[in-house]
Structure 1
Amino acid sequence: MNEVTQEQKTWGMIAHLSSLIGFIIPLGNILAPLVVWLVKKDTMPFVDDQGKEALNFNITVAIAGIISGLLTLILIGFLLLLVVGLAWIVLTIMAGIKANEGVAYRYPFTLRLVK
């Protein structure tokens, strides 16, 4: 990969941190990285990579959240929701920081659905 420009670093960070809009807009955690990725993927290789990574992670988090929500019926889901939520916030911020440094961040435990 060529040297990552500051503009690409900034958009890579936005691809990750935009998912936090999910606190305000339902499914915003998936839609925001999707929009950034679709708009910038053809012109910025770093953003193409980081946008897909953010999208895949947020799809994984949504799946984990749904499963945890269902498991609240047997009470373990409340703990799982807390763990998933905290991991989502912490890992998203870490990814945004790394992307702004020009480092291609890889989330742990992520389903790579969008290739």
Structure 2
Amino acid sequence: MSYEPQQPRPDYRSEGGRGIGGPDPHVSQYQGAPRTGSSGPQDDEKTVAVLTHLAGPVAALVSAGWLGFVGPLVVWFIYKDKSPFLRGAAAGAFNFNVTLWLVNVAGWICIFTVILLPLGVALIIAYWVMLLVCHIMAAVKAGRGEVYRYPMQLPILH
């Protein structure tokens, strides 16, 4: 018996789809890159999903809460036909951001009516808390390759 580490045997089945074994089952039909596992998103898909979930709060901070839905919408347009994982992540983030955007608008309308000022302040505080907490939780799950279901969303994109 030898205690030397064994070298992996080469796989002769993956010869560009023309070999004995046919097409390589580990090659993605979307990007031509080898898959790391039999199912689940690749590392680059996880990274884009994390950035998609974090684009909402970043854009909302930059635009004072008005443009949080733009980043997920751009990702959805780019990846809607390429990756089901990214399509679902971007659609969920967009739908959630549009819903929160409506809550933010309602809060500002209540603030300007003066009578409903306490309700408006409560809505805007709820907007920022939900925006930060839910998007951070979604980014963590996306980093693990899991799909995050936002708590409330209008079903606009699928």
State if a TM-score over 0.5 links the two structures.
yes
The equivalent residue for 1:22 is 60
- Aligned residue number for residue 62 of structure 1: 101
Displacement after TM superposition at 1:52 (Å): 0.3
| SS across alignment from 2:69 | helix
Structural mapping, 1:88-99, within 5 Å: 88-99=131-142
Kindly state the Cα deviation for residue 96 of structure 1 after the two structures are TM-superposed.
0.8
Number of aligned residue pairs: give it: 114
The whole-number CA distance in structure 2 between the counterparts of 1:106 and 1:47 is 13
Amino acid across the alignment from 1:13:
V
How many Å separate the matches in 2 of 1:24 and 1:103?
A: 28
CA distance in 2, matches of 1:38, 1:62: 20
Question: What's 2:45 paired with?
Answer: 8
Quote the residue 2:21 is aligned against.
none
Shift in Å, 1:38 = 0.9
Q: Distance in 2 between matches of 1:45 and 1:28?
A: 25
Unaligned segments of structure 2, at least 5 residues: 1-38
1:84 corresponding residue in structure 2: 127
Secondary structure of the residue aligned to 1:29 is coil
After TM superposition, give the deviation of residue 103 of structure 1 in Å: 0.8
The letter of the residue matching 2:95 is N
* Alignment-derived partner of residue 100 in structure 1: 143
| C-alpha distance in 2 between matches for 1:88 and 1:25 | 14
Stretch deviating more after TM superposition (103-112 or 17-26):
17-26
Normalising by structure 2, we get a TM-score of 0.67
Instruction: Name which structure has the greater RCO, CA cutoff 8 Å, separation 6+.
Output: 1
**Once superposed, what is the RMSD of the aligned Cα atoms?**
1.4
8 Å CA contact 1:15, 1:37 repeated in 2: no
Structure-1-length-normalised TM-score? 0.91
Question: Computing the radius of gyration over CA atoms, which structure comes out larger, 1 or 2?
Answer: 2
Number of the residue aligned with 2:87: 48
Aligned partners of 1:17 and 1:92 also within 8 Å: yes
Cα distance in 2, alignment partners of residues 90 and 9 from structure 1: 19
In the alignment, the residues of structure 1 paired with residue 63 and residue 105 of structure 2 have an alpha-carbon distance, to the nearest angstrom, of 17
Identity %: 29
